[in-house]
Structure 1
Amino acid sequence: MMLSLSALASERVRRREARIRQLERERDEREAAIFARIPRLAEIKELQSEIGLDVARLYLHRPTRFGKSFEELKEWSLQLSREREELLRRHGIDPYELEVHWDCPRCQNTGWVREPADGDTAAPPRKCACLVQEEIDDLYRAAGLTGPLREQTFEHFDITVYPPECRKHMEGVRDYCRRFADAVASGDARSSLLLQGAVGLGKTFLACAIGNRVIAAGKTVGYFTLPEFVELVRAEKLDEEFRSSTMQQLLDADLIILDDLGAEKVTEFVAQELFNLINLRLNRQLPMVASTNLRPSELEDVYGERIASRLLFGFEALTLQGEDVRKVLRLRSSEA
């Protein structure tokens, strides 16, 4: 089921904040254990904190606690730092144990990197690589392309599982799907794609490969098998708020994939919702990918003329050829 991107973004922020608190707690626990062994380290930390406050008070021309000048405070702080280093060395303690052990030291788990100021101009913060990767992972979660589906990419598409006489045709199908995915990723796609063929020819693999390539470009994808779409529609029927927000996502996603059409009989209500989705996205020239084992005449029998007409004449159709790939792979495995 497609997850809300805004909900995922909020969850991502909460997850990072919770992780920061956890890491700081762990640091505090390590620090407390070390201070219990070496009380002088706690005194040094407190003194350096007060020195910092006195420096601020001097800048503000306010009374200070220690009555020392800037130079005297600086020298005292340096002496305390040297004493701290000596105490840690003498007791065999790595100074790193008194620091927060960030998962990403570059951004300290915030997800944002602040570059040093260039003169008087401070550069705006930019996303850390760890946040970019997390956002991509969330796009996969939102799309429903997780687990093995995420591994189904064009790079892993094995043309040798097809009979020799079918390989040139299947290479053309693969390359067309790749070009389609690139067009969606660049925002240039205005058409939709129908993958047809018998069971086990790689329709789901190619549909997922398209989705994975689009997500890698930072675009939004919704992936559904027909049973999952039916489940979504049934859930919406019971929850009007859920219905409106979820259907809006389906209308706004950069790509929608409807996999394995024909795998389940549909009610009139589900057929109407499926028609609405297909019709609205076609009218708005928002790309879709659909796959089916059904022949054209069977599509009309199962879904009715309106849906069949849009799938057959509103989508670019690719027909896959060959033998059941799963049987070929099982045979290879038994011979290995």
Structure 2
Amino acid sequence: MESLGDLLKAMPGGRNMKQQADKLMADLLEDPLVGMLRNKYPELDDATIKLNLNRIYQCTKEYRNCTNCTGLDQCPNDFEGHYTELSCETVGGVVQLNDRKVACKKLIARQSENRIRSRIRSFYIDDRALSQGYSADEIVSKDIERMKAVGQVIGYINRTKEEGLQSEGLYLTGSFGTGKTFLMCYMLHELAKAGFTGAIVYMPEFVEDMKSLMFEQGKLKETVDLLKDTDLLIFDDIGAENLNPWVRDHVLGSILNYRMNRKPTFYTSNYGLDDIEQHFSFTNKDGDDLHKGQRLMDRVRPYVQLVHVTGQNKRGR
């Protein structure tokens, strides 16, 4: 932003600074913003305005910048995302003009959104799914066929906001591209606004990474502990992963065993609960082990509400 000194120098005949200052003083006295300031502080006289010409000029300049704001990234004010606010007080019979920097609405909104995002961790999920923002109207109107599922998710969100963490999560099942992940990201975003932490894990890549961490116990424990402790945990696209006995029993089993009766866990899948139990029962190493599959499902089935997500495939649209 140009300073008052720069403005005076740039004016024709800038060497006659007193004349130019007098002209600027006269212009400021006619400025509606200065009129509003004087209405608020009747004690603000011409002498005080002249003494604080630079402050008042900066205030009016920043106010107009904010009025015509095109976004924080293009903010021309001295302190990005802030404007100057003026106030008056009389001390010992002398009128004093004070200024302070105030955060604008756009900066406050961005800071609030950053705090929300800091409560959410994503593993192998496109961050745009969590950062784009959502509206309830968009969620409802996107596909009328999935209205029932949307109602269940929104109902769950409202219950959690009113009552705190629930004892059960949700299991979203449906065909490819019906918006299961989209709905879970919406839930995370809404509940992060209410102060809850959350994590969403894309299962196929997560399982492969866990296999590679088998002999890196420090990193493995850090990841597992994070997923155990977060308020809301989503396993996305469960059933699409290539399980081995170690990941199933010592990683996934450990996380679910800790969370049951403590914190809700959520799932999205193209498979129903019975099909997922069969999936858990089979590994490439050991073949079928129905007991192990049932054991894991005992930590899933009783702790979820089943949600059928119907509708059209929206991928690529």
The TM-score range, normalised by the shorter chain, is 0.5 to 0.7
Instruction: Decide whether aligned partners of structure 1 residues 182 and 106 sit closer, same or farther in structure 2, where only a CA change above 3 A counts.
Output: farther
Letter in 2 for 1:147: R
Residue aligning to 1:302? 279
Is the 8 Å Cα contact of residues 121 and 198 (structure 2) preserved in structure 1? Answer: no
1:320 to 287, 309, 314: 309
CA RMSD of aligned residues (A): 4.4
Higher relative contact order (CA 8 A, sep 6+): 1
Q: CA deviation at 1:221?
A: 0.9
State yes or no: 1:155 paired with 2:143.
no
Q: In 2, are the aligned partners of 1:226 and 1:259 still within 8 Å (CA)?
A: yes
Match status 1:246 vs 2:228 = no
CA distance in 1, matches of 2:180, 2:220: 29
Q: Structure 2 CA distance, aligned partners of 1:175 and 1:146?
A: 25
For structure 2, the residue ranges without an aligned partner over 5 or more in a row are 8-46, 63-75, 85-102, 281-292
Map 1:193-204 → 2, pairs under 5 A: 193-204=170-181
Instruction: Report percent identity of matched pairs.
Output: 21
2:254 corresponds to 1:276 = yes
Normalising by the residue count of structure 2, what TM-score does the alignment of the two structures yield?
0.57
Pick closer, same or farther for the CA change 1:132–1:161 going to 2, 3 Å: closer
Q: Show structure 1 runs of 5+ residues with no match.
A: 1-25, 35-77, 108-126, 331-336
State the AA in 2 paired with 1:280.
Y
Looking at structure 2, the residues matched to 228 and 152 of structure 1 have their Cα atoms a distance apart, in angstroms, of: 26
- What amino acid is aligned across from residue 127 of structure 2 in structure 1? T
Q: CA deviation at 1:209?
A: 1.8
Q: How many pairs align? A: 233
Q: CA deviation at 1:301?
A: 2.1
User: Structure 1 residue 287 and structure 2 residue 264: aligned?
Assistant: yes
Distance 1:265 1:192, change over 3 A: same
1:155-177 per-residue CA deviation (whole Å, 9 max, x = no partner) reads 32255745xxxx4xx32321111
Check conservation: 2:179, 2:314, Cα contact below 8 A. no
* CA drift at 1:298: 2.3
1:54-89 Cα distance to aligned partner (Å, 9 max, x none): xxxxxxxxxxxxxxxxxxxxxxxx9xx96996xxx9
Superposition TM-score, scaled by structure 1 size: 0.55
**1:6-155 superposed matches below 5 A:** 101-105=78-82, 129=108, 131-140=111-120, 146-149=127-130, 150-151=132-133, 154-155=136-137
Q: CA deviation at 1:153?
A: 5.4
Whole-Å separation in 1 of the counterparts to 2:136 and 2:253 = 30
Structure 2 counterpart of 1:205, which letter? Answer: F
